[in-house]
Amino acid sequence: MDDSIETCKDNAKWTLSSAICTAEVRSLGGMLQNVHFLFANGDTFAPLAQADWADDAPKEDREIAPHLQRLGGEWPCVPFGTSPSDPQHHGYASNAHWRCTHQSQRRIELVIDFPKSHVVSQLRRTIEVSEEAHRVDCSLSIIVRNACELPIGLHPIFRLPTDAPVHIVLENSTLLEPMPAEIRPPNFQLVAAEGRMLFGADGQEIDFLQGYTGLSTELVQGYDAGGKVAVEYPQEGKKAVLQWDENALPHCLFWLANPHQFEHLGAFRGLGVEPISSWFDRGTKPLFGAAKGSPRPFGVKLKPSEPWSMDYSISAETILMQGAE
């Protein structure tokens, strides 16, 4: 199969496959979903989370962002979070349909044009499943109409097993910070940080990277994330590795949904590991907390004459299974 096509059907879905990886791509949000890595010993590893309602008929409710109705997998957010020019969370492209301009068995190219009033003109996205490694390779390109600075991010959501916590492995001495009190929702429990150790309101230490028992919904920002985060599944003997250009997106936002209850939709379990150039999901200007001490930017400067682009990947590796000798 090698079709040069241009389609934009509502809720279109495309399939990619190699001998060791399969994946689906949705037109809504350009979402990469249902990634399955196939190992020689017969194991199948599916690292990305998927909402129970993701394949249901969309609800006719303007209060529910379209990307939440198809929640799961990975997709780009331009701009990331909420901004005056984009009333829907995570921007126009997260909540509208992309069109496919080319597809082969292992690779797809997607494009979305923004409204003419928007500073962004177009996003381009490629997704390719490797036939040589347990990896999905992606790229994102941004074309703007006018010079601007935008918060930009990626939004992979990893699966959270119900029987045991996953382990988050950071690349370097990333500083963690829970949401500052000035913007923290009342149901969030993490209130302070010291290095990588986080604290609840009762002063109890919580090792967010190794165990989050008792936490439900949290947002934790990692400053200077180093362009690599691994999510380990010790009981399955596997880990997922997310790699990206740290110069393009220097930070990483962790969204814990353990579970998170969405009104009108239901409960969702997942771990967002979101490379960003943003201050939490609140824009390019840090207002409080540890961010003011970071030398790295919280927005991406874009020019019409210079399209911005970045490559990144999600891969899978075998690790020692918990309890194995």
CATH code for the domain in which residue 122 is found: 2.70.98.10
Per-residue pLDDT of the chain (325 residues; tens, 9 = 90+): 333 333 344 679 999 999 999 999 999 999 999 999 999 999 999 999 999 999 887 777 777 889 999 999 999 999 999 877 677 889 999 999 999 999 999 999 999 999 999 999 999 999 999 999 999 999 999 999 999 999 999 999 999 998 888 999 998 778 899 999 888 999 999 999 988 889 998 999 988 998 777 899 999 999 999 999 999 999 999 999 999 999 999 999 999 999 999 988 999 999 999 999 999 998 888 877 666 667 788 999 999 999 999 999 999 999 988 766 5
Is 192 inside any structural domain?
yes
What distance in Å separates the CA atoms of residue 150 and residue 131, rounded to the nearest whole number?
35
Is 324 inside any structural domain?
no
Is 323 inside any structural domain?
no
pLDDT tens digits, 123-161: 999 999 999 999 999 999 999 999 999 999 999 999 999
Say what the alpha-carbon torsion angle 9, 135, 156, 242 is, to the nearest 10 degrees: -150
Is 244 inside any structural domain?
yes
Is 24 inside any structural domain?
yes
What distance in Å separates the CA atoms of residue 191 and residue 183, rounded to the nearest whole number?
11
- What's the pTM value of the predicted model, to 2 decimals? 0.94
- The runs of H, that is alpha helices, within the chain are 66-69
What distance in Å separates the CA atoms of residue 54 and residue 316, rounded to the nearest whole number?
24
pLDDT at 2: 37
- Identify which of 72, 64, 37, 102 has the alpha carbon closest to the alpha carbon of residue 271: 72
Q: Residue 266 contacts by C-beta under 8 Å, 6 or more apart in sequence?
A: 51, 52, 53
Say what the alpha-carbon torsion angle 292, 295, 298, 304 is, to the nearest 10 degrees: 140
> CA Rg, the chain, in Å?
19
Is 298 inside any structural domain?
yes
pLDDT at 6: 38
Per the structure, the count of domains in the chain is: 1
Tokens of 183: 């913007």
- Identify which of 321, 2, 312, 320 has the alpha carbon closest to the alpha carbon of residue 135: 312
* Residue with token string 């009190």: 181
Is 122 inside any structural domain?
yes
What distance in Å separates the CA atoms of residue 45 and residue 90, rounded to the nearest whole number?
28
pLDDT at 1: 33
By residue range, what is the domain housing residue 239?
Answer: 2-318
DSSP state of 291: G
pLDDT at 72: 97
In 3-state terms, what secondary structure has residue 259? strand
pLDDT tens digits, 64-114: 889 999 999 999 999 999 877 677 889 999 999 999 999 999 999 999 999
Is 10 inside any structural domain?
yes
In 3-state terms, what secondary structure has residue 70? coil
